[in-house]
């Protein structure tokens, strides 16, 4: 225990940010600042779309839901997210969506940052929605319908308040308790809240309509006759095959914007439409290569399914924030080797051969369990 070997030249330490620490980080910086920071990262990364090695996410479907991996890389940084979607989880006290992710160096493959992403995904999804709305909604939009008042609804509400300028929310959920929870969480936010008894009532007079429901089914949460001229629709809940929220007629009326076409054709609202249904990728609008909204009368839809690049942006924001605040814990996910060609050295029977830097996480529980 007293010998401290010289650390290897490059120690592959991974910084770990747990769910409670991520919450403390966000509380420390303030949620609006985090939403703004993640939105800035997303906008900057989407503008350099061509720099990224992109693939549709890799799903594993089961009767109860889906587990997905979402990798992406530029020349310097690789990230991936693990995320599930199990609508029945809440009945067992578990979140519908749970996630974590890793940021790694492309040059060596070293995983640098392992982070919870359950909470962070809610922030990045809301930040992405706000980035799209800033580009697509009518300037001066002040009223938003929020249809679906579940786990992500507060984040959407606050992102649209702080990043888009929304002042009034019209709330609807098939579960009145969900709306009550949202109202309680937004008390003191400064947002005017109107509780509605139907999606149609919520949509009435809204500049922006956000749909973020969790049912894994073909639903018609929003029909064409509920959507006024000039509305921007932020369609967030439909995000896997068989799960949609909009009546097809809404899409037929609108100009539709997507994150990454190959993925959205399979997972998004446009899975209801022909394979050649015209869409515009949002990055083109952000980069000035395509027009956003054409007129104040046009209906725009952001058919959001969530793309790996948003998690890349969120992970680099959270990593930088954790480093700046001194948060997170170094873990020894990767072994430290004196000679990297001598992996077997890890098994040679020498006590205390581990560099001290490699074991900050060895708790007393682990030490007790250590075999003789």
Q: Which of residues 147-166 bind a copy of itself (CB under 8 A)?
A: 150-152, 154-155
Rounded to a whole number of angstroms, the minimum distance from the CB of residue 258 to a copy of itself is 21
What does the alpha-carbon distance between residue 77 and residue 111 come to, in Å, rounded to a whole number?
Answer: 10
- Answer yes or no: 339 catalytic: no
Subset of residues 76 to 95 that bind a copy of itself, contact rule: CB under 8 A: 78, 80, 82, 84-86, 89-90, 92-95
Q: Decide the pairing of beta strands 99-105 and 111-116.
A: antiparallel
Subset of residues 179 to 208 that bind a copy of itself, contact rule: CB under 8 A: 181, 185
Rounded to a whole number of angstroms, the minimum distance from the CB of residue 301 to a copy of itself is 25
- Cα separation values, 126 from 38, 201, 219, 291, Å: 9, 23, 22, 22
Question: What are the DSSP E strand ranges found in 287-336?
Answer: 300-303, 329-331
Rounded to a whole number of angstroms, the minimum distance from the CB of residue 184 to a copy of itself is 9
Buried b (16+ CB within 10 A) or exposed e, 359-371: eeeeeeeeeeeee
Is there binding between residue 33 and a copy of itself (CB under 8 A)? Answer: no
Is there binding between residue 212 and a copy of itself (CB under 8 A)? Answer: no
Subset of residues 127 to 146 that bind a copy of itself, contact rule: CB under 8 A: none
By beta-carbon proximity to a copy of itself, the closer residue of 45 and 207 is 45
For residues 141 and 108, the answer to whether their CB atoms sit within 8 Å is: no
Token pair listed for 131: 């980035």
> Which residue shows structure tokens 């070997």?
5
Q: Which of 36, 55, 204, 249 binds a copy of itself (CB under 8 A)?
A: 55
Rounded to a whole number of angstroms, the minimum distance from the CB of residue 99 to a copy of itself is 8
- With CB under 8 A as the rule, give the number of residues binding a copy of itself: 100
Cα angle 311, 47, 39 (rounded to 5 degrees) comes to: 45
Subset of residues 277 to 336 that bind a copy of itself, contact rule: CB under 8 A: 325-329, 331-336
Helix (H, G, I), strand (E, B) or coil at 344: helix
Is there binding between residue 118 and a copy of itself (CB under 8 A)? Answer: yes
Q: Which of 32, 64, 176, 228 binds a copy of itself (CB under 8 A)?
A: 64
Say which of 239, 303, 311, 332 is annotated catalytic.
239
What does the alpha-carbon distance between residue 94 and residue 91 come to, in Å, rounded to a whole number?
Answer: 7
Is there binding between residue 69 and a copy of itself (CB under 8 A)? Answer: yes
> Which residue shows structure tokens 């109107």?
194
By beta-carbon proximity to a copy of itself, the closer residue of 135 and 186 is 186
Residues known to be catalytic: 239
């Amino acid at each position: 225990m007293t010998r401290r070997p010289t650390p290897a030249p490059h120690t592959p330490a991974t910084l770990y940010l747990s769910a409670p620490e991520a919450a403390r980080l966000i509380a420390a910086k303030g949620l609006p600042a985090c939403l703004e920071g993640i939105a800035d990262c997303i906008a900057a990364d989407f503008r350099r779309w061509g720099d990224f090695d992109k693939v549709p996410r890799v799903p594993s479907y089961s009767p109860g839901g889906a587990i997905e991996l979402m990798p992406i890389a530029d020349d310097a940084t690789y990230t991936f997210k693990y995320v599930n979607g199990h609508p029945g989880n809440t009945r067992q006290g578990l979140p519908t969506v749970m996630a974590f992710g890793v940021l790694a160096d492309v040059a060596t493959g070293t995983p640098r940052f392992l982070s919870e992403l359950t909470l962070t995904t809610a922030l990045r999804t809301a930040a992405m929605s706000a980035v799209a709305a800033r580009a697509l909604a009518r300037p001066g939009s002040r009223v938003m319908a929020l249809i679906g008042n579940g786990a992500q609804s507060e984040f959407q509400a606050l992102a649209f308040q702080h990043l888009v300028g929304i002042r009034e929310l019209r709330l609807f959920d098939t579960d009145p308790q969900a709306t009550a929870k949202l109202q309680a969480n937004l008390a003191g936010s400064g947002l005017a809240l109107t509780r509605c008894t139907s999606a149609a009532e919520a949509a009435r007079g809204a500049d922006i309509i956000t749909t973020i429901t969790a049912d894994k089914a073909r639903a018609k949460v929003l029909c064409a006759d509920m959507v006024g001229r000039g509305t921007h629709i932020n369609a967030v809940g439909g995000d896997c095959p068989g799960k949609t929220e909009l009546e097809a007629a809404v899409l037929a009326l609108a100009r539709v914007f997507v994150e990454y076409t190959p993925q959205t054709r399979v997972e998004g609202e446009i899975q209801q439409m022909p394979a050649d249904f015209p869409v515009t990728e949002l990055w083109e609008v952000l980069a000035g290569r395509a027009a956003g909204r054409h007129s104040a009368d046009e209906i725009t839809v952001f058919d959001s399914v969530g793309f790996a690049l948003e998690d890349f942006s969120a992970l680099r924001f959270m990593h930088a924030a954790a480093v700046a605040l001194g948060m997170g814990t170094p873990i020894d996910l990767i072994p430290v080797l004196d000679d990297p060609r001598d992996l077997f050295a890890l098994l040679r029977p020498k006590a205390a051969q581990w560099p001290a830097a490699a074991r900050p996480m060895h708790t007393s529980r682990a030490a007790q369990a250590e075999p003789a």
